[in-house]
Amino acid sequence: MNDEKVITPFEIGVLAALTVIGKAIAMNPHLDLESLKKDAQAVMSAMPDHPKWQGGEKRIHQAPIESLLAGTEKVLR
């Protein structure tokens, strides 16, 4: 059985929005960004690795947090 899922346009939009939110969060000078990343990794490691998006390595459960973290990387500190 193939458990790969196809990403929908809505899901792409949500992930893009989370990237923008991650950037906005990282712009807060009072934020401990390393602590945020550590907490995010802990949450993602507790989530299952499957299913994954069709044709890729992205794991569905971790995709929102990964997008948020990708947004934080767009800010120079």
**pLDDT at position 70:** 96
pLDDT band (50, 70, 90) for residue 44: very high
Structure tokens at 39: 């907490």
Question: What ranges do the domains of the chain cover?
Answer: 9-72
Residue 48: how many CB atoms within 10 A of its CB? 9
- Per-residue pLDDT reduced to its tens digit, 17-38: 999 999 999 999 999 999 999 9
Q: What's the rounded Cα separation, in Å, for the pair 67 and 32? A: 18
SS (H, E, C) the chain: CCCCECCCHHHHHHHHHHHHHHHHHHCCCCCCHHHHHHHHHHHHHCCCCCCEECCCCCECCCHHHHHHHHHHCCCCC
